Amino acid sequence: MNSAEFLLWVRGPGLQIATVIFLIGMVLKLLEILLLGRKKNLAVLRSSGVVEGFRTIFTRSLPADKNTMKRSMFTFVTGYIFHIGLFVVIFLLTPHISLFKSVFGFSWPSLSTPVVDFFAVATMVSLLAILFRRLTHPVLKFLSRGEDYFVWVLTFVPLLTGYMSYHHLFFDYNWMLATHILSAEIMLIFFPFTKLTHAFTLFISRWYSGSIAGQKGVKS
Partner 1 sequence: MSETSQATLERGVQALKEQIDSTTAAFFSSCTHCGMCADACLFHTETGCPTYTPIHKVEPMRRIWEQEYTLVGRLKKLLGLSKKVTDKELEKWQSLVYNSCTLCGRCSMVCPVGIDITGLIRKMREGMVASGHAPEGLIGASERAVEIGSPMGVRLPALQAQIKHAEQDTGLAIPVDEQGAEYMVLLSSMEIINYPEYLQAIAKIFKQADKRWTLCSEAFEATNTGIQIGSSDIAAELVERVVAGAEKLGVKTVISPECGHAYTALRWEGPNLVGREFTFKVQHILEVLDEFRGQGLIKTEGVEEAKLTFHDPCQLVRRGGVVEQPRNLLNMIAPNFVEMDDHGTMNWCCGAGGGVSANEEADKVRIKAFDRKKHQIKDLGVDTLVTACANCRIQLEDGLEIHDMDIPVQGLTEMIADHLLVSNVSKNIEEQAS
Is residue 136 near partner 1 by the rule CB under 8 A? no
- Contacts from 203-209 at CB under 8 Å and sequence distance 24+? 203/57, 204/30, 204/33, 204/34, 206/53, 206/56, 206/57, 206/60, 207/53, 207/54, 207/56, 207/57, 208/53, 209/53, 209/56, 209/60
41 vs 98 by CB, closer to partner 1: 41
DSSP H or E stretch at residue 25? helix 15-34
Is residue 113 near partner 1 by the rule CB under 8 A? no
Is residue 79 near partner 1 by the rule CB under 8 A? yes
Gap between the Cα atoms of 171 and 169, Å rounded: 6
Q: Which stretch binds partner 1 (CB under 8 A): 93-101, 119-127, 180-188, 205-213?
A: 205-213
* CB distance 76 to 63 below 8 Å: yes
* Chosen residue from 2, 37, 109, 170 binding partner 1 by CB under 8 A: 37
* Chosen residue from 137, 164, 173, 186 binding partner 1 by CB under 8 A: 137
CA 146 to chain centre: 18
**How many CB atoms are located within 10 Å of the residue 179 CB?**
22
46 vs 101 by CB, closer to partner 1: 46
Interface mask toward partner 1 for 148-187; x: CB under 8 A? x---------------------------------------
Interacting residues with partner 1 (CB under 8 A): 28-29, 32-39, 41-44, 46, 56-57, 60-61, 63-65, 67-68, 71-72, 75, 79, 137-145, 148, 193, 195, 197-198, 201-202, 204-210, 212-213, 216-220
